[in-house]
Amino acid sequence: MDFWVFLIFLLACGPAAATGAMFSPGEWYRGLAKPSWTPPDWLFPVAWTVLYLCMALAAERVARQAGQDPNVGTGLAFWALQIGLNTLWTPIFFGLRKMRGGMIVLVFLWLAVFATLVTFWRVDWFAGLLFLPYLVWVSVAGALNYSVMRLNPENTRQPA
């Protein structure tokens, strides 16, 4: 493993992690109606920590194939797209309290994560596999965003 490349990709998850810490769910979010299957609060930072490590590890494995596989560029382009969208969701949902806006970002994020998984798999199947938990989690997050949006119709489009 190229530790430095892994570290740069892990640092690249930093801005996304920072939005999670800086735009934290306050009283507004706590006051919203949520579905019964909402994961407990403590699970979110734990899940994201594991997912960021998996993402960085997968990207390092793919980056290592540069010099051999021309698909590396496309894969890392999708990786950059997904981390940007990941960074965007929290400020839109918790910062601007735009549930519909958050939902749109999550749809694009799901597609970007799926595209990264498929492109990575072609380069290195284990790197693709490392993206599978992320795809599952974004599906759960999408279902949660959608449910919260439906359960709190009076709160949508309401500015902070």
Binding site for its own copies (CB under 8 A): 2, 4-5, 8-9, 11-16, 18-19, 22-23, 59-60, 62-74, 76-81, 83-85, 87-88, 91-92, 95-96, 98, 101, 105, 160
Judge whether 114 and 138 are in contact, CB under 8 Å.
no
CA dihedral 128, 132, 133, 135 (to 10 degrees): 120
The CA distances from residue 41 to 4, 65, 89, 98, in Å, are 32, 38, 17, 20
For its own copies, give the closer residue by CB, 14 or 35. 14
Q: How far apart are CA 9 and CA 140, in angstroms?
A: 24
Residue 81 CB, nearest approach to its own copies (Å): 4
Residue 135 CB, nearest approach to its own copies (Å): 18
Residue 40 CB, nearest approach to its own copies (Å): 26
For its own copies, give the closer residue by CB, 38 or 65. 65
The pair of three-digit structure tokens given for residue 23, joined into one six-digit string: 């735009």
Reduced to 3 states (helix: H, G, I; strand: E, B; else coil), residue 160 is: coil
For its own copies, give the closer residue by CB, 25 or 39. 25
Residue 155 CB, nearest approach to its own copies (Å): 18
